[in-house]
Amino acid sequence: MTTTASPTTEPSAEASDTSSGVAVLDRAFAILNAFGPTDDRLTLTEVSRRTGLYKSTVLRLLGALEHGGFIRKLSDGQYGIGHQPLRLATLYQRSFQVGPIVEPILQQLSRDLGETASFYVRQGDQRLVLYRVEPSRSVRVAIRVGEEFAIDKGASGKVLLAFTESSDPRWNDVREQLCAVSYGERDPETTSASVPVFDSTGQLVGALTLSGPKGRFGAPSTINVALKALLLSAKRVTVALGGVGARYDASIAKFDQDDEIESGG
């Protein structure tokens, strides 16, 4: 008796719960997502390994992505990201309409506090670095614009969760105090402090954040100074976006009272 072998099924590049339902798009997205934050270039073999797709499929899709400007083939035969994602990233940033307001404030925060200042937005279960300014000092927290982190770790994650999941009682304190602090949750050597920014409708826009090495930035007095600076800055951004700055006053006043107590006033 002759048996006929069943067709070989190509490994799926995406889990079913993240599938768009259009296989060729899922595979193209998988190829783009194969590039990590530190990957300047990848070989065909490595892209195939990371995506679980056959080399022939990867090669065909790389050609299409190259034609569209999303991938570029390098002189050594490897592949890198093309120019189109940069153009789309610029449009993505502009869609939030906060760049001209937030960036100068991040620069001032980083200059005044000597730490990394950043602005995060929520993307599903991730928090994405939309803007960031790093200090000139050699020991600092280094993050990249466009980098994503799990939303359930870090001060900015707490802020983003608190004001996008308003019924979750875990974040009552964050909603009441308008701030959150993290000591080594994402990176054991990093401390961060974060506050929310709101728009003219009172909806959360993102999280204004300062991050620094725990040994330098983790002292309670240092964190209090950072939180007050962040709250004052978030108030400025919120007012500039047409929001109500007065919602920050009670939290700012608390730090003013703490300053008076410490000074013996």
Q: Is the pLDDT of residue 135 over 80?
A: yes
| Whether residues 77 and 202 fall in one domain | no
Residues 189 and 233 in one domain: yes
Q: Are residues 68 and 109 in the same domain?
A: no
Q: Is residue 7 part of a domain?
A: no
Please enumerate, as own/partner, the contacts of 176-182 that have beta carbons within 8 Å and a separation of 24 or more.
177/251, 177/254, 178/231, 178/234, 178/247, 178/248, 178/251, 179/227, 179/230, 179/231, 179/251, 180/155, 180/156, 181/155, 181/223, 181/227, 182/153, 182/154, 182/155, 182/157, 182/158
11 located within any domain: no
| Predicted confidence (pLDDT) per residue in 59-90, tens digit | 999 999 999 999 999 999 999 999 888 888 77
123 and 245 part of one domain: yes
Residue 108 domain-assigned?
Answer: yes
Residue 78, token pair as written in the block:
């490897």
Tokens encoding 132? 């960031």
What pLDDT score was predicted for residue 35? 92
Q: Are 169 and 208 in contact (CB under 8 A)?
A: no
Q: Is residue 2 part of a domain?
A: no
Residue 119 has pLDDT above 80, yes or no: yes
One domain, residues 105 and 168: yes
Lowest mean pLDDT among 21-35, 82-96, 103-117, 130-144: 82-96
Domain membership flag for residue 31? yes
Is the model's pLDDT at 150 over the cut of 70? yes
- What does the pLDDT read at residue 260? 53
What CA–CA distance (Å, rounded) separates 191 from 226?
11
Last residue of some domain: 82, 107, 131? 82
The count of other CB atoms within 10 Å of the CB of residue 52 is 15
Task: Report residue 5's pLDDT band, with 50, 70 and 90 as the boundaries.
Answer: very low
- Residue range(s) defining the domain that contains residue 55: 16-82
Residue with tokens 């620069």: 107
State yes or no: pLDDT of 155 exceeds 60: yes
User: What is the CATH classification number for the domain harbouring 227?
Assistant: 3.30.450.40
- Per the domain annotation, does 10 fall within a domain? no
Task: Tell me the pLDDT of the chain averaged across its residues.
Answer: 87
Give the pLDDT confidence of 12-35 residue by residue, as tens digits: 444 444 566 788 999 999 999 999
**135, 45: one domain:** no
Query: Which tens digits make up the pLDDT trace of 159-171?
Result: 999 999 988 999 9
Burial class (CB in 10 A: 0-12, 13-18, 19+), 184: middle
pLDDT band at 4 (very low <50, low <70, confident <90, very high): very low
Residue 256 is predicted with a pLDDT of: 80
Are residues 171 and 259 located together in one domain of the fold?
A: yes
- In this structure, the answer to whether residues 235 and 115 fall within a common structural domain is yes
Higher confidence at residue 185 or residue 7?
Answer: 185
Q: Are residues 190 and 61 in the same domain?
A: no
Q: Residue 242 corresponds to which tokens in the numbers above?
A: 């047409």
Inform me whether the pLDDT recorded for 144 exceeds 90. no
Number of domains in the chain: 2
Give yes or no: residues 74 and 113 share one domain: no
**CATH number for 34:** 1.10.10.10
- Domain co-membership, 102 together with 145: yes
Q: What is the pLDDT of residues 244-253, one digit of tens each?
A: 999 999 999 9
How much is the pLDDT for 16? Answer: 42
Q: Check whether residue 158 and residue 71 sit in a common domain.
A: no
Q: Cα–chain-centroid distance for residue 204?
A: 15
